[in-house]
Chains A and B, each alone.
Chain A
């Protein structure tokens, strides 16, 4: 299953809920304000540990987050990569 989080982890519990429900084999994609959760130095980064995590590159760039600021093991994708991930998963769960 692909989990989408589009809200800041510092303004609500979406990332916390998503990561606590994810099973092994599931993938998390952070988009829009969700990308703030991928910043290594931020408190929320600990929620990502042990999960397969991708982040949408254009949303990182919009927010001035460079790749060197990301937590280890995070995969950066573009819009085409986003589509590939949707296609590769049987279900998509958007944590709106």
Chain B
């Protein structure tokens, strides 16, 4: 067996203007089955993917935003959101979905999946990865 790799998916596109966001989510969910050490970064327009209250009924596209809430169940619980990108767009953490996971080592305590990070912190997280996937 090969050793577990640290894999990060970097999301930088808004959700409906292109197919990147949805494709990324699909690859993340498929990849989660292979028991790798997965983390996600959302920066630039990618932060829009996590906003709450999305209703696509008027544009004839699938609203895939509820799926982000399932990531915790797939042990995808390291989600880094770039603070600068939020601020530039007039968004705060309150505008994003509250994503959580349950820690089985602590009696299934519910914990936040989203970590708001500075560019410098994100830079350190990137440097620590084995593989980077870009969407």
Contacts and interface: CB of A to CB of B under 8 A. Distances in A.
Interface of A: 6-8, 10-11, 32-33, 36, 39-43, 45, 57-59, 61-66, 69
4 residue pairs, one from A and one from B, having the closest CB atoms: A41-B90, A58-B58, A33-B17, A64-B53
Interface string B41-76: 000110010011111111101010100000000000
Given A58-B59, A61-B55, A62-B54, A39 B90 contact: yes
8 contacts: A36-B48, A42-B88, A61-B54, A61-B59, A62-B16, A62-B61, A63-B51, A69-B90
Nearest to A69: B90
B15 A63 contact: yes
Interface in B92-122: 95
Given A39-B89, A42-B89, A64 B45 contact: no
A45 B91 CA distance: 13
B88 A64 contact: no
A10 B89 contact: yes
B63 A63 contact: no
A43 B17 contact: no
Given A62-B58, A63-B54, A10 B16 contact: no
A8 B90 CA distance: 14
B54 A64 contact: yes
B126 interface: no
B64 to A, nearest CB: 11
